[in-house]
Amino acid sequence: MEKKIRLGIIGCGGIAHKHMQAFLRIPEVEIVGGADIVPGKARAFFDEFELSDALAFDCATDLLKCDLDAVSICTYNSQHAVCAVEALEAGCHVLLEKPMCLNMKEAAEIYAAEKKSGKILTIGFQPRYGQNFRQVKEIISSGALGDVYYVQTGGGRSRGIPGNTFIDKDKAGVGALADIGCYALDFALNSIGYPKPLTVSAVAYDYFGKNPKYYPEAERFSVDDFSAAFIRLEGGITLDFRMSWAMHMDTTGDFLFLGKDAGLKVRQPDMHPWGGAWDGILGEVTMFHDVFGRPTSTKIPLAEEKKTDLFYLKIRSFVDAVLTGGKAPVPTSEILYNQAIIDGIIRSVACGHEVETDLSFLDK
C-alpha cells in the first residue's frame, strides 16, 4: 500500500481553503484534522469540504496529539512562530505560510526548533514555482548580467488594502511591507542567490488605511499601507524596495537588476487592482546589453503561465519532500534573510534611522 502522510491544518481561515483544495488532489495525503482558536470554525471548515471524519479542535495542541506526519500552518502572522515551534517539537514536518514570522526573536526560535527536530520546514512562497520567476533566476545565475550591484523590487496596489485580520496589528503584526513585501523581497533575493542583508533604512506610512475617505474600516487599521527601504546586501549590492497597498500612483516601478555586463528589467504585471510579485505573474522581461559596443535591448520571451497552478505546486513540493525525505523546497536558510529585512524595516521605521540586520543567532 502506498504511504500516506497524516496531515493537519492549523488555522482554518481564508488561505487554509487553498491549502485544502490542493491537499485533496494528492492521493498520498490523508487529512486527519484541523484546529482553529475560534470555536466551531475548524468543524465548519471540514463540513464545507464534506470531510465529516476529519477531527476538529479549538486548540493546535490537541491536534498535534493525533500522530501527524505534517501540518500546514495557516494562522495569521502573529501566531506563525508559536504554532511552528509547537508543531516541530511534536515531530511534524511543517509548511508555514508567509511571512515566516514577525521579528528575529521569533525567527531564531523557529530556526532552533527546526534544527533540533530534523524535520522539514518550508515557507509558503508559491511564486517560486512560476516559470518566468525561474527564468529570471536562470538568466542571472548564468552570469549573463555579470556581477549584479543594484536591484529594485517592490510593487503593490493603488487601491488594494485587504480587510479581515490583515489590518489588525495584534494579528498581522505588519501591513503591506510584509504581507506582499515578502514576495517582492523573495523574488529579488532568490533571483540573485540570496545574499546576506547587512543594513536597512526604511520608512512606512498609513495615510490611506487610516483615512475613512479611502478605507471604510479606518478606525480598525493599525498597520502600514506603504513602505520604502534602502538595503545594503553582502557583496556591495544595493536593494531598493517599495511596497504599497494604496497610493496615488499606478506602480512603484519595475523590477530592475543592474549588472556590470548587462541589466534586466522585469515589468510589473497588470496593476489593476492587484500588483507586485505575489501571484507569480511577471510583465515583460527585457535585457539591456551592448552589442558591438552599442547599447541594445532584447526582449526575453515569457513562458505561458496561465495554466500553471502555483499554489498546487507549492503544496505538492512540500508533500514530495516529506515522502522522499528531501529538502525543504523554500528553506529557512534563505527566508531568514527575507525576514531579517522585514525585521530591519520595522526597527528602522521605529527609530528613524538605518539599522543593522540581526542575524547573530546564526553564528551561535
Which residues here bind ligand NAD, judged by CB under 6 A? 10-16, 35-38, 41, 60, 74-77, 79, 83, 97-98, 124, 126, 164-165, 179
In this complex, which beta carbon is closest to ligand NAD, that of residue 42 or of residue 355?
42
Closest distance between ligand NAD and the C-beta of residue 197, in Å?
21
276 CA to centre of own chain? 12
Measured distance CA(135)–CA(190) in Å, rounded: 12
Closest distance between ligand NAD and the C-beta of residue 298, in Å?
32
In this complex, which beta carbon is closest to ligand NAD, that of residue 165 or of residue 201?
165
Nearest to 310 by CA among 174, 151, 187, 148: 187
Distance (Å) of CA 138 to CA 135, 191, 303: 5, 8, 13
Measured distance CA(189)–CA(222) in Å, rounded: 28
Closest distance between ligand NAD and the C-beta of residue 248, in Å?
26
In this complex, which beta carbon is closest to ligand NAD, that of residue 100 or of residue 139?
100
For residues 90, 94, 99 and 101, what is the CA-based torsion angle, rounded to 10 degrees?
Answer: 20
In this complex, which beta carbon is closest to ligand NAD, that of residue 41 or of residue 137?
41
Largest CA distance in the chain: 69
Closest distance between ligand NAD and the C-beta of residue 325, in Å?
25
In this complex, which beta carbon is closest to ligand NAD, that of residue 94 or of residue 148?
94
Closest distance between ligand NAD and the C-beta of residue 139, in Å?
25
In this complex, which beta carbon is closest to ligand NAD, that of residue 63 or of residue 229?
63
DSSP 146: -
Name 258's Cβ contacts closer than 8 Å, sequence gap at least 6.
145, 148, 149, 150, 151
Among all residues, whose Cβ is closest to ligand NAD? Answer: 13
- Annotate 178-224 with DSSP letters as a single string: HHTHHHHHHHHHHHTT-PPEEEEEEEEE-TTTT-TTT-TTGGG--S-
Q: 250 by DSSP, 3-state: which?
A: coil
In this complex, which beta carbon is closest to ligand NAD, that of residue 35 or of residue 336?
35
Closest distance between ligand NAD and the C-beta of residue 38, in Å?
4
Name 261's Cβ contacts closer than 8 Å, sequence gap at least 6.
144, 145, 146, 289
In this complex, which beta carbon is closest to ligand NAD, that of residue 100 or of residue 140?
100
Name 312's Cβ contacts closer than 8 Å, sequence gap at least 6.
22, 25
Closest distance between ligand NAD and the C-beta of residue 172, in Å?
7
In this complex, which beta carbon is closest to ligand NAD, that of residue 60 or of residue 192?
60
Closest distance between ligand NAD and the C-beta of residue 253, in Å?
23
Q: Under a CB-based contact definition with an 8 Å cutoff, are residues 244 and 156 in contact?
A: yes
Distance (Å) of CA 321 to CA 81, 119, 310: 22, 10, 17
C-alpha cell at 323: 515522502
Closest distance between ligand NAD and the C-beta of residue 10, in Å?
5
DSSP 39: T
